[in-house]
Amino acid sequence: MHATIRRYEGVDASRTNELTGKINEKLVPQLRKLPGFSGYYLIEAGNGVLSSLGLFETPAQADESTKFVAKWIHDENFDSAIPNAPKITSGKVVAHSNGVTVA
């Protein structure tokens, strides 16, 4: 399993509710359809920071999800609400505690 963490800074705080609503309503269902999808979590950290955690079976699938999300942000006209490219951390999941075996 591979994880990708995206940290978005400078998010328009006045649009956080709109963003999270659209992410739950539109983005998450689309992510579920991607090959290798294992999970997605969005974290509202405050102070204009949103972070997401995406879980996929392979590194290629995780990388593809990053491209997919960037396109989704643009297509949904959220470029002004999320003006900065995310800081991305991606890699193999090597420890976990949810009872799922990681290969």
pLDDT at 102: 59
Residues 6 or more apart whose Cβ sits within 8 Å of residue 98: none
Q: Confidence class of residue 13 from pLDDT cuts 50, 70 and 90? A: very high
Q: How far is the C-alpha of 49 from the C-alpha of 102, rounded, in Å?
A: 30
Which residue segments constitute the domains of the chain, with CATH numbers given?
2-92 (3.30.70.100)
SS3 readout for 31-94 = HHCCCCEEEEEEEEEECCEEEEEEEECCHHHHHHHHHHHHHHHHHCCCCCCCCCCCEEEEEECC
pTM of model > 0.85:
yes
Note the pLDDT tens digit of each residue in 31-77.
999 999 999 999 999 999 999 999 999 999 999 999 999 999 999 99
Q: How far is the C-alpha of 9 from the C-alpha of 35, rounded, in Å?
A: 28
